[in-house]
Chain A
Amino acid sequence: MSGKNETDSQSAVREIVITRIFKAPVKMVWKAWTEPEHLKKWWGPRDFTSPFSKIDFRVGGKYLHSMRGPDGQEYWSTGTYTEIVPMKKIACTDNFSDKDGNVLSAADIGMPGDNWPKELQVTITFEDLGGKTKITLRHVGIPEGVMTEMTNAGWNQSLDKLEASLTSIH
């Protein structure tokens, strides 16, 4: 099809990428990400805590983290480190699990919608900005190009919202 190349060239831009610049040196941000005692302090999003974290920080090693919601429900996630470049990059898989690290589907833990991907692949890159650190979190679970093509088709409202949110990530 004629539009194919155009779509391919756009696809890289439309991945799910979340970036943030932290006012802290790389060494500290790296530590916050790789040591359970630090990770537990922030892994739970707003109104959550993170009571448990175990990290076997080596390629092939696993992690197991928990998040506890305001209602007391605990969500566990596990994954395997697939690449580690000290102070620069961490790549790992990401799954929902039970407290023993057995992989569960999103539906098993009562997440809305039964179509979450079973396994996400996440890469986190650390960029030294001289006293500050830029973190780029890239979700590589959704196939490249999908977002672009869905929105190109000019579909429903929900997808328009998606488009807007994807272009507004910084």
Chain B
Amino acid sequence: MRRDVFQAIADPTRREIINLIAHKSLNVNTVTERFEVSRTAVYKHIKILTECGLIMMKQQGRERFCEARLEKLHEVSDWVEQYKALWNSRFDRLDSYLNELQAKPKNKSHVRKKRNR
């Protein structure tokens, strides 16, 4: 199954894990201790985050550390920017089209009035 960054951040526990290690890498045990859910559950989240490329596991001596890879999150912000730009541009077009539509009947009635005179 292909994982993406949106899926990674969809879960509140996973978001908390990222917050936790955003500024400082932590060893796996320290991460699991911070949560009330089972160790296994936290491991599972860490695994998903690793698969999505948001966490990198690093072996240091006998300990394994979780390091945040925040570059991946650019993809989310880039996406939001693109999405907004697309809709704002469409709305500009819709705006002028609606103006056009409304201008038409007015013109006709204007012409008719003139003819009646």
C-alpha gap A135/B94 in the complex (Å): 11
Report the nearest B residue to A120, measured CB to CB: B83
- How many of chain B's residues have a CB under 8 angstroms from any CB in A? 43
Residues A155 and B70 in contact, CB atoms below 8 Å apart: yes
Main SS at interface, chain B: helix
Identify the stretch in B40-48, B58-66, B84-92, B106-114 within 8 Å (CB) of chain A at 4 or more residues.
B84-92
When distances are taken between beta carbons in the complex, the residues of chain A under 8 Å from B6 are: 115, 117, 141-143
A20 to B89, CA, bound (A): 11
Question: Given the complex, which residues of B lie within 8 Å of A145, measured CB to CB?
Answer: 12, 15
* A33: nearest chain-B partner, CB-CB: B94
Indicate whether A45 reaches chain B with its CB closer than 8 angstroms: yes
Q: Which residues of chain B have C-beta atoms less than 8 A from A146's C-beta? A: 9-10, 15, 76
Cβ of A147: which chain B residues have Cβ within 8 Å of it?
80
With a cutoff of 8 Å between Cβ atoms, the chain B residues found around residue A114 in the complex are: 4
Q: How close is B97's CB to chain A, nearest CB, in angstroms? A: 5
- Say which residue of B11, B76, B77, B97 sits within 8 Å of A32 (CB atoms): B97
State A150–B72 Cα separation when bound (angstroms).
Answer: 12
CA–CA, A29 and B102, complex, Å: 11
Measured between beta carbons, the chain A residues less than 8 angstroms from B102 are 23-24, 28
Query: What separation, in Å, do the CA atoms of A23 and B106 have in the docked complex?
Result: 15
Contact B99 A43 (CB under 8 A): no
Distance, CA A139 to CA B15, complexed state (A): 20
Expressed in whole angstroms, the Cα–Cα distance for A81 and B35 within the complex equals: 40
Give the residue name and chain of the B residue nearest to A43 (CB).
Answer: B90
- The reply to whether B73 and A155 form a contact with Cβ atoms under 8 Å apart is yes
* 0 or 1 for each of B12-26: is its CB under 8 Å from A? (1 = yes): 100110110011000
Interface residue ranges, A against B (CB under 8 Å)? 1, 16, 18, 20, 22-24, 28-29, 32, 38, 41-46, 112-118, 135, 137, 139, 141-143, 145-147, 149-150, 152-156, 158-159, 161-162, 165-166, 169
